[in-house]
Amino acid sequence: MPKETAAFKAGPGSEIAKNQCLICHSAEYVLTQPRLPRAFWEANVAKMRDKYGALLPKDQVPVLVDYLVQTYGK
């Protein structure tokens, strides 16, 4: 099992990820994804909000998607 040290890498937007994306699950969910394109991260964040009920404010969505694509996407 990976150690519980998984954390979001620091960078612009990482605070949003820390505050909004660790409420329901660990950062592993993001860190273990392959490097996926922007369309995936847009759809993923939309799903977290619309389907699972993440409370991420709408105006933070593009900042967070930029962070995810730059840090964990391609």
Question: Which residues of this protein are in contact with ligand HEC, per CB under 6 A?
Answer: 20-21, 23-25, 29-30, 33, 44-45, 47-48, 52-54, 56, 64
Count the Cβ atoms, other than its own, within 10 Å of residue 30: 19
Q: How far is the CB of 41 from ligand HEC (least distance, A)?
A: 7
Cβ proximity to ligand HEC, 4 vs 54, nearer residue: 54
Q: How far is the CB of 5 from ligand HEC (least distance, A)?
A: 18
Q: What is the DSSP string of 21-69?
A: SSSSS-THHHHTS--B-HHHHHHHHHHHHHTT-----GGGHHHHHHHHH
